[in-house]
């Protein structure tokens, strides 16, 4: 599966790892599994590592943001750190996220996993 998740319940964080070029539906299915996982609770933070994934297309990013916005009640107040491989991926994601108008989910973009962790836990 190109998108996998693990939940670190004591740390209150969900780790998403994306490899290859998953479809939006594959990504969405994984998030729905996270929400129904008994280890997940509203308010857990997310660290999404896309460094080994193909850059998502504009349509994927738009749909991703709409999905997250629609599921803000399940997510609750949290931080979502996206670890991206390059500036092009970063710029596209930032542009869409800024227009999304999410009130509960604070999104940050990083090139380094350690920096993403510091931001989430800081």
- Show me where the domains of the chain are located: 3-121
Which residues share a beta bridge with 47? 15, 81
Angstrom distance (rounded) from CA 56 to CA 93: 9
Token pair in block for residue 101 = 């108008």
Per-residue pLDDT tens digits for 35-49: 999 999 999 999 999
Q: What is the pLDDT of residues 3-38, one digit of tens each?
A: 999 999 999 999 999 999 999 999 999 999 999 999
Which CATH architecture best describes the domain 3-121? 2-Layer Sandwich (3.30)
Residue recorded with tokens 């590592």: 49
Helix (H, G, I), strand (E, B) or coil at 119: helix
Is pLDDT of 122 > 80?
Answer: yes
Over pLDDT 70: what percentage of the chain?
Answer: 86
d(CA 50, CA 84): 5
Alpha helices in the chain (DSSP H): 24-36, 58-70, 72-75, 87-100, 113-121
Q: 18: which strand partners?
A: 3
Please state the pTM of the whole predicted model: 0.89
């Amino acid at each position: 599966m190109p998108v996998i998740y693990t939940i670190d319940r004591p740390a209150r964080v969900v780790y998403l790892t994306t490899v290859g070029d998953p479809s939006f539906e594959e990504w969405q299915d994984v998030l729905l599994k996270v929400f129904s996982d008994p280890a997940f609770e509203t308010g857990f933070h997310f660290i999404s590592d896309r460094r080994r994934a193909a850059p998502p297309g504009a349509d994927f990013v738009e749909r991703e943001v709409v999905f997250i916005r629609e599921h803000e009640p399940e997510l609750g107040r949290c931080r979502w750190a996206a670890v991206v491989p390059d500036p092009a991926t970063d710029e596209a994601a930032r542009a869409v996220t800024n227009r999304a108008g999410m009130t509960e989910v604070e999104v940050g973009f990083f090139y380094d996993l350690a920096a993403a962790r510091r931001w989430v836990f800081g």
